Amino acid sequence: MALGRFSDPALLVMASLADGPKHGHAMMADIAQMSGTRLGPGTLYGAIARLEAQRLIEPLPPEDRRYPYRLTPEGKRVLRAKLNTLRQFTLAGLGKLEVS
């Protein structure tokens, strides 16, 4: 049974950038490998625009025709907090499954 997508594109983009700058195509490939989720260009660049407007990521100078992005210090802080919250949620949910 397919349950649909349980991912937040912005969180996936931030997690992809956690190990260093990437351009859009590299992010799409990394996200697919990391999570099994394939983001389309519209979803990816919509998330990038929102994260950039929130100053959680920033563009770097273009490389050829590629436009890389990186996490800002605030983006790293926010990502760490979100991932810690997900960790706590995951542990609680798994604990509930053990009880049932």
Q: Up-side HSE of residue 13: CA atoms within 13 Å toward CB?
A: 28
pTM comes to 0.88
Residue 71 DSSP label: E
C-alpha distances (whole Å) from 55 to each of 40, 68, 75 are 22, 15, 7
Per-chain mean pLDDT for the chain: 91
CATH fold for domain 9-99: Arc Repressor Mutant, subunit A (1.10.10)
Instruction: Give tens-digit pLDDT for 19-67.
Output: 999 999 999 999 999 999 899 999 999 999 999 999 999 999 998 889 9
Domain spans of the chain?
Answer: 9-99
CB count within 10 Å of CB 6 equals 7
Query: For residue 55, which of 79, 43, 72 has the smallest C-alpha distance?
Result: 72
